Amino acid sequence: MNFRPGSRDEPEINLIPFIDILLVVLIFLVLTTTYSKFTELQVNLPVADAQAPKQNPREIIVAVGSDGRYSINRQLLDGAGVDALARVLATASQGNRETVIVISADAAATHQAVINVMDAARRAGLVQITFATQQTGGSSTTARGKP
């Protein structure tokens, strides 16, 4: 009888197929997490981080409520259409074309209500339009620009 330990082959762990499988799993995870971002679309408007607004004595503040009502310089307009808004804006600007329109729209206001204010400003000959936004800290700012 031969009691000598025989020559046994050492088991080898081949790492190349293991790495291949890990790379495939990693690619699969990256692709699926990228696509999951697009299925959860949440939009919260308006919030912006901007500089503090400069005081402009020739401003007309137009507030647009979530229900579509308008307020110009804190005076509520009932059932105002684009033509009525244009007349009130022309009166409030007193013929000064350098007057800045500040649109302060509620986040739940419709886009059409904001477009109506912009159209009324154009009809009144006022081209400087600004949008008021809320910073993440709670204070309000304006983002300046021309239409």
pLDDT tens series, the chain, 147 aa: 566 666 677 777 888 999 999 999 999 888 777 554 444 445 555 666 666 656 556 888 888 888 888 888 888 887 678 888 888 888 888 878 888 888 888 888 888 888 998 998 998 888 888 888 776 665 555 544 444
The reply to whether 80 falls in a domain is: yes
- pLDDT score of 26: 93
The reply to whether 24 falls in a domain is: no
- What domain range includes position 110? 59-145
- pLDDT score of 89: 87
The reply to whether 112 falls in a domain is: yes
Do 146 and 127 form a contact (C-beta atoms < 8 A)? yes
The reply to whether 66 falls in a domain is: yes
- pLDDT score of 4: 66
- pLDDT score of 138: 53
- pLDDT score of 57: 60
- pLDDT score of 37: 47
The reply to whether 4 falls in a domain is: no
The reply to whether 87 falls in a domain is: yes
- pLDDT score of 128: 87
The reply to whether 51 falls in a domain is: no
Torsion of CA 87, 88, 94, 95, to 10 degrees: -30
The reply to whether 97 falls in a domain is: yes
Domains contained in the chain, number: 1
Say which CATH number the domain at 70 has: 3.30.420.270
